[in-house]
Structure 1
């Protein structure tokens, strides 16, 4: 690296540090000011890895604060409302989670009533392997692992009661990829909310062309209302609930986290817990074969109500690489697809296939590139030995951030950044990718 390039590189690292400090709210990190004023589940786990590069103690505090939101049944919600804010809808009052969901006699923040992709175990393992023994003692690390296992067990029991190996989501927000076109057909059977008086805050802060449509939000809110009506109790939520999908992204991330949690628990000699995880890992590995479409050479999501594969190509379809769920032939097919996208001058990896009729290069999860998803796909490719393509995705992501700044997501032609700026997990991913060889 030339001296001038090195100076610029160092200034970006400092800017990434500054963004995490800017968005620090006393032990937890908000994704960005105003637009997302609370602690988000998978954002926070990834932010912890960013913090770890320059403040290891603060990284572990991020994990502790996130786990404060855990429910009595093990569920770890997608939003932890540590404080009130007028800038976000739906807030804690809309979710209205009953007190019985939380542990008795334990102080807890208010939360949402659904979960999010469980990347936490993977992040904890990376912190532990890269860290100093003095940053966290083994007793506390073991407790953290048990809390994560309890969360995973919630997924297995509440979202896979028939023990198929694949867990379902009951809301697009649980996928983390809120308005992905993969959910369009499934959302058709969801009626809009009758609450016409609610007011979104996101479109007053960000251009509406970069956000989900109003008709989608109306359905998101209806699903919240139905879940709230059942007090978020999986035993009360019937099989005719209008949205029930096997999300390839969440299941891939859960599988990877199971593998990483197994590695952590093996260090502690937790024999029965390791046996439990191994059984679940094998079950998921076998079940994933059902999600592969040999004709289209793709893993796809599945609508659990219709039983049909959702043949929409998104960045989530490549996350089985991260979950180590693909066989050698499937990996080659996925690599070929990514290379075809790149041949058309698209940077990798658009959140929706640029050849799909639903592709919108600036609208949230319908086209833009998301750095944290790129990190996961790049990591998966590297573990399968596809180092050149892994490096290409890594370098393109770093170049996007260097050129356009620390945005929430980016145009696949590298034209501009979208969504929130000074974005926390973009800063964290920049730090992660800078350290990745």
Structure 2
């Protein structure tokens, strides 16, 4: 029988195996580079047994920060022809070859959690990272707000690539001139678990447009047809600003403007409340239309410090329909697909972010979510994501962020040692 101690060791081994010397890849083959929010989770995982390595993970990520403050979603530290689209397709303009878009800003929150584990060791690292985190957050506040909510310019930015929330704005894109390309993701994973060609054509069309515009934010604001105010980005940035304010106060650093940013984002979060759906929802910036989707991102409100009785009722309803965690899309929806990426599967990382928020607000469902995530990983391993109805693993295997979730949060359900030797 596999014990908690066995699983702790397996999780630590996955982080070590995916370590490429200062940064961690999500998994071998499918994702051979450093991904932004993956690394933030990896850092928290490493912090449970090697805190200096945890800080190194975040510091390496920020070596790719652009002059305008943006931190890219992929950093191409070394060449790997097995991945598409690579740095030549993106044409990033940062100091390290990278993509031209960003990802959910959870790094400040993870840095705060790591700092709290050992403030003495963490202080010099945090002092060095703080202005870089601030510059990234300022970039969002300058370029990506609509009614105070954060909007995305590519489905990959939200980290939830093919969620039904993007279906309508994606349909308006005509990718006729995208040209021929060869996908590499389906060479590593069954295509039934990945986005369709319909989606991928539009992903690449948006990348080509960004490269043509040299990733100029004012021009993208005018020309990009895909602009969606997103719960993931809005809630994660709101939480990140709260964490940055707390760190700045603790270390006596510049906090000017952060309180105002938080108020602005709180107002923006309310602009994502869909009264008919009775849920936080994505909103098309171009048309003002709602996505009319209850997704796992809808439940990040508590993580952002926003309570909602109506969203609690939605969470209770959704959890009653599946066995394992929060599905990425409403199981009652005709678009639900339990094994296709962000159209239904449960993700340990989203369970953790939602769970952290629930715990901080003493929500009655907090422990249930942690326990079901723990049971899921214990029974089905460290996969990229899982079918929420039966727990069957899907996507990549030996996945960094699932191992990190186990070490930093999930195994606390039965008093695990959080990966410490």
| 2:140 equivalent to 1:155 | yes
Alignment map for 1:406-417 (pairs within 5 Å): 406-417=382-393
**Alpha-carbon distance in structure 1 between the residues aligned to 2:252 and 2:330:** 44
User: How many angstroms does 1:240 deviate by?
Assistant: 4.0
**Alpha-carbon distance in structure 2 between the residues aligned to 1:189 and 1:321:** 33
Alignment map for 1:287-436 (pairs within 5 Å): 287-326=268-307, 330=308, 332-386=309-363, 388-433=364-409, 434-435=411-412
User: How many angstroms does 1:35 deviate by?
Assistant: 0.3
**Cα separation, partners in 2 of 1:46 and 1:336, compared to 1, 3 Å:** same
Residues 305-356 of structure 1: per-residue CA shift (max 9 Å, x gap) = 0012221111111111111133xxx2x2222212222333443200000011
**Could you tell me whether the CA contact under 8 Å between 1:338 and 1:348 is conserved in 2?**
no
User: How many angstroms does 1:414 deviate by?
Assistant: 2.5
**Cα separation, partners in 2 of 1:46 and 1:345, compared to 1, 3 Å:** closer
User: How many angstroms does 1:167 deviate by?
Assistant: 2.0
**Could you tell me whether the CA contact under 8 Å between 1:249 and 1:320 is conserved in 2?**
no
**Cα separation, partners in 2 of 1:127 and 1:204, compared to 1, 3 Å:** same
Which residue of structure 2 aligns with residue 211 of structure 1? 194
**Alpha-carbon distance in structure 2 between the residues aligned to 1:249 and 1:409:** 17
**Alpha-carbon distance in structure 2 between the residues aligned to 1:252 and 1:175:** 11
**Cα separation, partners in 2 of 1:432 and 1:187, compared to 1, 3 Å:** same
**Could you tell me whether the CA contact under 8 Å between 2:376 and 2:391 is conserved in 1?**
no
| 2:33 equivalent to 1:38 | yes
**Cα separation, partners in 2 of 1:288 and 1:268, compared to 1, 3 Å:** same
TM-score normalised per structure 2: 0.95
**Alpha-carbon distance in structure 2 between the residues aligned to 1:424 and 1:207:** 20
**Alpha-carbon distance in structure 2 between the residues aligned to 1:140 and 1:343:** 43
**Alpha-carbon distance in structure 2 between the residues aligned to 1:150 and 1:381:** 29
**Could you tell me whether the CA contact under 8 Å between 1:28 and 1:61 is conserved in 2?**
yes
**Alpha-carbon distance in structure 1 between the residues aligned to 2:248 and 2:412:** 26
Aligned pairs, number: 413
TM-score normalised per structure 1: 0.91
Residues 222-278 of structure 1: per-residue CA shift (max 9 Å, x gap) = 0011111110011222424210010111110000000001000111223xx423110
**Could you tell me whether the CA contact under 8 Å between 1:400 and 1:414 is conserved in 2?**
no
| 2:169 equivalent to 1:186 | yes
Residues 141-176 of structure 1: per-residue CA shift (max 9 Å, x gap) = 21201100000011111213x7x4222110000000
User: How many angstroms does 1:132 deviate by?
Assistant: 5.3
User: How many angstroms does 1:296 deviate by?
Assistant: 2.3
Out of 49, 53, 56, which is 1:58 matched to? 53
Which residue of structure 2 aligns with residue 145 of structure 1? 130
Residues 109-163 of structure 1: per-residue CA shift (max 9 Å, x gap) = 21100000000000000000012523x4x34421201100000011111213x7x
Gap runs ≥5 in structure 2: 416-421
Which residue of structure 1 aligns with residue 185 of structure 2? 202
| 2:109 equivalent to 1:122 | yes
Which contiguous aligned blocks of 4+ residues in structure 1 show a shift greater than 3 angstroms? none
**Cα separation, partners in 2 of 1:373 and 1:345, compared to 1, 3 Å:** closer
More moved, 314-323 vs 24-33: 314-323
**Could you tell me whether the CA contact under 8 Å between 1:406 and 1:427 is conserved in 2?**
yes
Alignment map for 1:217-296 (pairs within 5 Å): 217-270=200-253, 273-296=254-277
**Could you tell me whether the CA contact under 8 Å between 2:387 and 2:393 is conserved in 1?**
yes
User: How many angstroms does 1:435 deviate by?
Assistant: 4.0
The DSSP-based 3-state class of the residue aligned with 2:85 is coil
Residues 31-56 of structure 1: per-residue CA shift (max 9 Å, x gap) = 00010000000000010000011111
Which residue of structure 2 aligns with residue 166 of structure 1? 149
